[in-house]
Structure 1
Amino acid sequence: MTLDLTGITSKAALHQLFKEQLGFAEWYGPSWDAFWDSVVAIVPMPPVLMLTNWEEFARCCPRDMEILRRVIQDYAEEMHPKQIVLG
């Protein structure tokens, strides 16, 4: 599965995209803890989630991009062979 992050310039917009495209619960909010819980235990994730055109988000939200990179790394370790990748 591929998610195109073109035009995503805020943490809230990124989490809204995740919520809509990955089928997160209605109560899901823009939180990295909620994202982790959702991808690890709540929603069925694809074998590979590719995030494309993420560079604009990284420029606009460098702190959240750093967190996302750590989440991606932790996810690879915890959920192997499933993975989230930047493409």
Structure 2
Amino acid sequence: MTHDEPGRDLPGRHVVTLDLDGVADKADLMERCVRALELPEWFGRNWDALADSLGDPSVWPAAVGGRGLLVVVTGWRTYARTRPDEWKTAEDVFAQAADRTPALTVALALGT
């Protein structure tokens, strides 16, 4: 699944792939999040807005009947290597949102 494809479902979870292949900076990362997570137009494209959106099931794609969300982050290694400070912040946002929101799981894919 690429970042342009819709999510798919697993029992109890809506699965979304956040493909970061080719992401060069925070602005690119935020645009990928907007597309993959189907965030609303008013999304602020900053770390706080991302944390708020990940922690709020009402803005998740296919948010129906208390279903959970699994975000699978792929293609992240180059971004992490070239923008380590930004990546650290992104990891912290993902981890804190998942810790606060039991219906959210964020998984970093290690393969291609």
TM above 0.5, yes or no, is yes
The runs of at least 4 consecutive aligned structure 1 residues that moved more than 6 Å come to: none
> Which protein has the bigger helix share?
1
SS in 2 for 1:47: strand
Tell me the TM-score normalised to structure 1 length.
Answer: 0.86
Aligned length: 87
Equivalent position of 2:47 in the other structure: 32
Tell me the TM-score normalised to structure 2 length.
Answer: 0.69
For the 8 Å contact 1:72–1:85, the answer to whether it is kept is: no
Question: Which range moves more in the overlay, 43-52 or 15-24?
Answer: 43-52
For the 8 Å contact 1:51–1:86, the answer to whether it is kept is: yes
Report the aligned-residue RMSD.
Answer: 1.6
Q: 1:44 aligns with which of 42, 60, 63?
A: 60
SS in 1 for 2:22: coil
Q: 2:32 aligns with which of 10, 17, 21?
A: 17
- Measured against aligned partners, the alpha-carbon deviations of 1:40-66 in whole angstroms (never above 9, x if no partner) come to 125125521000110111122111111
How much does 1:84 deviate? Answer: 1.1
Q: Which runs of 5+ in 2 are unaligned?
A: 1-15, 62-67
Structure number with larger C-alpha Rg:
2
For the 8 Å contact 2:50–2:93, the answer to whether it is kept is: no
Alpha-carbon separation, structure 2, partners of 1:73 and 1:30: 18
Check if 1:56 corresponds to 2:78: yes
For the 8 Å contact 2:51–2:94, the answer to whether it is kept is: no
Taking only the aligned residue pairs, the percentage that are identical comes to 30
Where relative contact order (Cα < 8 A, 6+ residues apart) is larger, the structure is: 1
Q: Which runs of 5+ in 1 are unaligned?
A: none
